[in-house]
Amino acid sequence: MLESRIQQHFIDSADLKYQSAEALSKPIAAAVQAILASVTSGGKVLACGNGGSAADAQHFAAEFVGRFERERPELGAIALTTDTSILTAIANDYDYSVIFSKQVRALGQGGDVLLAISTSGNSGNVIAAIEAAHEREMSVVALTGRGGGKIGNLLKETDVHICVPHERTARIQEVHLLTLHCICDGVDAQLLGEQEPPT
């Protein structure tokens, strides 16, 4: 019983990834181009999200500043989810809804990219961060699911929306992680030239 349940998770995850490959490849490629344009012009990526999406933001920043699979110069990325003093001060003195937007206003500049991650598309503090990024003339790459929620209606034509066509949080997060790996690989391929990924 338990083993068949576990196997079903693998099957469901693989099925969604297979179904999403064609639908998401175009917006993921657009995200690669937006991020590449920023970092090659001296810009950076500010990444945010809550819970598992916070972990994804940190994961992305680590692979950007360090490396993904190939050696390359460091690329600018900051996860807005990691400084507990900033997060708790803002949440305590203002409100949890502005923990990311205040950081975007403090750190973001025109030409930077906000990587906004929300499985529901309705996270209030991520929405506020997108609004702050627009004020700063930053572009936004939004990773969502469930039809995109409020974030889908907030994005501009110059932004990129990568919306996983699913309702279940765990499945959406699994595709978000693959998406972030595709972005890292795509940026590396554009910077360093095509190379077969290691098997």
Cα(66)–Cα(18) distance, rounded to whole angstroms? Answer: 29
pLDDT of residue 194: 82
Pairing of strands 77-79, 139-145: unpaired
Query: Tens digits of per-residue pLDDT, 47-99?
Result: 999 999 999 999 999 999 999 999 999 999 999 999 999 999 999 999 999 99
- Mean pLDDT confidence for 148-171: 97
Please say whether the beta carbons of 53 and 129 come within 8 A: no
Of the pLDDT bands very low, low, confident and very high (cuts 50, 70, 90), residue 197 is low
Indicate whether 123 pLDDT > 60: yes
Roughly what angle, to the nearest 10 degrees, separates helices 2-39 and 169-192? 40
Q: Which of 9, 24, 8, 34 is nearest to 190 (CA)?
A: 34
Indicate whether 195 pLDDT > 80: no
Cα(144)–Cα(40) distance, rounded to whole angstroms? Answer: 26
pLDDT of residue 129: 98
Please say whether the beta carbons of 103 and 46 come within 8 A: yes
Q: What is the DSSP string of 166-183?
A: -S-HHHHHHHHHHHHHHH
Cα(100)–Cα(130) distance, rounded to whole angstroms? Answer: 9
The whole model's pTM is what? 0.96
